[in-house]
Amino acid sequence: AGAALDVYLSEPPETEAEKALVDHPNVLCVPHLGASTEEAQDQVAMDAAQQLVEALRGGEIRNALNAPGLSEPLPPVLRPYTELAMRMGTILAQITSGALEKVEVIYRGAISKLNVSPVTTHLLIGLLQPRMDQPVNLVNAPLLAEQRGVEVDQITTSKTREITRLMEVTVHTDQMKRSARGTIFGSKFPRIVAIDGYHLEIKPEGNVLIIVNEDKPGVVGLYGSILGGNDINIADMTFSRKIRSGLAVVGINLDQTPSEAVLKEINDLEFVHEAYS
């Protein structure tokens, strides 16, 4: 019988037992060279290239040393939530004016038992990128938030509401506060199901127009005419209203991106309070 050893608790071996083992005639010892063989180097290069390609395609970032929360493979059930979080962040950044000060995110239900830190990082990417000139990614998003004094609170709870798996995000700036809730329908369809307490169902994809207007007859037709007059097609629409406030929030998916001039024309309508895209 024999043995071949390449790695030791301490290098070089220090104890008498280790030295005796090294000197044993049936033991072959090498000084931690296993990774230096041609075969090992080829395999390491292949693994690194495959992981890089997967990351660049938007897949998992495996074996990351400087990306918080990404040291473990992302469970399949969480992958759609990373996309949802980024899109929610982008929309909240568009509709929330002022300098970002605090982000609160609550994960409810089954997803709360998983490592949701990568989802929070994707949320930060969506929130920060519209405010930044430099690219924001999984590695630098938490650092950029910290450098700008943005407080990030991540809360998990098994308590559920009407939806069993839910993300609740509240954004605080030096001027205002906004909130949104999101979930995944089925296993892969992201939806924003509430904005500032208005319950609706927005597809957070493509060009999204958010409008806050007075709940009066004909208002939707007014900005619908503006969009149509500028050759902008409405792909989908959802809305919610509150009787007490007399206001409605409308989410519209558009086939084209509205220009600043179009947004100004909508904002200038008598019964429109806010319009963002």
Q: φ and ψ at 129, to 5 degrees?
A: -55, -45
**What is the C-alpha separation between 155 and 250, in angstroms, rounded?**
29
Q: Phi and psi dihedrals of 151, rounded to 5?
A: -80, 130
pLDDT value at position 51?
Answer: 79
Residue 10 pLDDT = 78
* Kind of pairing between the strands at 27-29 and 3-5: parallel
Contact between 107 and 77 (Cβ < 8 Å): no
Q: In the predicted model, what is the mean pLDDT of residues 231-236?
A: 96
30 vs 254 pLDDT, higher one? 254
Whether residue 233 is predicted with pLDDT greater than 90 in this model: the reply is yes
- Average pLDDT of the chain is 90
Residue 52 has what pLDDT? Answer: 79
Percent share of the chain, pLDDT over 90: 66
Distances (CA, A) of 79 to 23, 71, 83, 148, 181: 52, 15, 7, 28, 17
Given this model, what pLDDT does residue 253 score?
Answer: 97
Sign of the CA dihedral running 54, 59, 64, 67: positive
Q: What is the mean pLDDT of residues 172-197?
A: 95
Can you give the pLDDT at residue 8?
Answer: 78
Scored b (16 or more CB within 10 A) or e, 74-102 reads beeebbbbbbbbbbbbbbbbbbbeeebee
Residue type, 69: G
Sign of the four-CA dihedral 250, 136, 80, 152 = negative
Query: Could you tell me what percent of the chain has a pLDDT over 70?
Result: 93
| pLDDT one-digit tens code per residue, 126-142 | 999 999 999 998 889 99
Distance CA 156, CA 144 (A): 23
What confidence score (pLDDT) does residue 56 get? 65
Q: In this predicted structure, what is the pLDDT of residue 139? A: 84
Model pLDDT for residues 82-117, shown as the tens digit of each residue:
999 999 999 999 999 999 999 999 999 999 999 999
Backbone angles phi, psi at 48, to 5 degrees: -65, -45
Report the Cα 245 to chain-centroid distance in Å: 32
Average pLDDT score over residue span 223-230:
96
pLDDT band at 194 (very low <50, low <70, confident <90, very high): very high
Q: Which domains does the chain have, with CATH numbers?
A: 3-56 (no CATH), 74-197 (3.30.1330.90), 206-277 (3.30.70.260)
User: 148 or 35: which carries more pLDDT confidence?
Assistant: 148
Residue 19 binned pLDDT confidence (cut-offs 50, 70, 90): confident
Reported as a single tens digit per residue, the pLDDT across 31-88 is 877 778 888 888 888 888 887 787 666 566 667 666 655 556 678 889 999 999 999 9
pTM of the model: 0.77
Tokens representing 261 are 């001039």
